[in-house]
Amino acid sequence: MCPPVTAKRLTGLRWLGVIALLCAPFARADFDAGLAAFRAGDYGRALGEFRPLAENGDAAAQYYLGVCFERGQGVIADPAKAAEWYRHAADRGYAKAQHNLASLYLAGEGVPRDVGAAIAWYERAAEAGSPKSANRLGTLYFRGEGVPRDYASALTWWQRAAAGGEGDAAYNLGIAYRRGLGVPPDPAAAVKWWQSGAEQGSPLAQNALGTALMNGEGIAPDPVRAYGWFRMAADAGVEVAKANADLLLTRLDDRQRDAAFAIAAELARKQAPRDAAPMSKQ
């Protein structure tokens, strides 16, 4: 509730401007309370805080309402409602909502499947600064899904995403250089991209870098460091990385194993957490 203000001499737009200025801190506090509840898993309270803000045009609150409806957090899952709230926020330029709306169009969840619409929203999100959307666009161009296959465009979008900190895009670039897709084959360049992606927290890049280190492809072989990266990817849920780590241990002597365990522990300490912002699964 905004505090009362004396209305003398305040009319028209000037009055509305004063009301907006007075209400803004209270709206911000309501949103912060909702976000804290959301992060704590108290989705009922989060919805109570977000809904009035969303209905009043707050794009961030609209986005989080979309997330709750998409995931069924505090409400029965309803992809159509999620798409509705995402669209409200997306129309206001909220990049994460644009990304999630694009993902719903790509999957045909809550809206008819429309790859063209997905690409259009991914492009808007990428232009607004979403590395995840840029990565997704690169993948669509790489596959030729909804657009003619175009490796050059795929690489451009992946490079943009990787520059924005999207580790999976760096992994994709490494694959392109390793296989010579859109660029001449270059195992050393592939390793550089995987190294970047691994340090940015991509489990796929971590496993790929471990494989390169284990086999000495594009880089001098180093099974001890390979184990460290395999272990990182395995701890993130990459099953093949776990198999690689277990196999590699059988090839190391006791001294190498001790060093490998130490490297794995050091990498785990240094690894920055991945972006936990709620995004669609696509």
Total domains, the chain: 1
Instruction: Note the pLDDT tens digit of each residue in 158-211.
Output: 999 999 999 999 999 999 999 999 999 999 999 999 999 999 999 999 999 999
Instruction: Note the pLDDT tens digit of each residue in 19-30.
Output: 344 444 545 668
55-65: buried (b, 16+ CB within 10 Å) or exposed (e) per residue? Answer: eeebbbbbbbb
- Return the minimum-mean-pLDDT range out of 26-30, 53-57, 99-103, 271-275: 271-275
pLDDT at 17 over 60: no
Q: Is residue 52 part of a domain?
A: yes
Taking only Cα atoms into account, the Rg of the chain, rounded to an integer number of angstroms, comes to 23
Nearest 5°: the CA angle 196, 265, 161 is 20
Q: Is residue 9 part of a domain?
A: no
pLDDT category at 271 given cuts 50, 70, 90 is confident
The two tokens of residue 105 are 């169009």
- Return the minimum-mean-pLDDT range out of 11-15, 88-92, 259-263: 11-15
Q: Is residue 3 part of a domain?
A: no
Q: What is the mean pLDDT of residues 224-237?
A: 97
Q: Is residue 279 part of a domain?
A: no
- State which residues form the domain around 94: 21-119
Reduce the DSSP state of residue 14 to 3 states and report it: helix
pLDDT at 15 over 80: no
Q: Is residue 241 part of a domain?
A: no
CATH classification at residue 101: 1.25.40.10
Q: Is residue 103 part of a domain?
A: yes
pLDDT category at 224 given cuts 50, 70, 90 is very high
Q: Is residue 132 part of a domain?
A: no
What residue has token string 């794009």?
59
Instruction: Note the pLDDT tens digit of each residue in 41-61.
Output: 999 999 999 999 999 999 999
249-275: buried (b, 16+ CB within 10 Å) or exposed (e) per residue? Answer: beebeeeebebbbebbeebeeebeeee
Q: Please tell me the predicted confidence (pLDDT) of residue 44.
A: 93
The two tokens of residue 224 are 């001890």
Q: What is the mean pLDDT of residues 139-165?
A: 97
Q: Is residue 165 part of a domain?
A: no
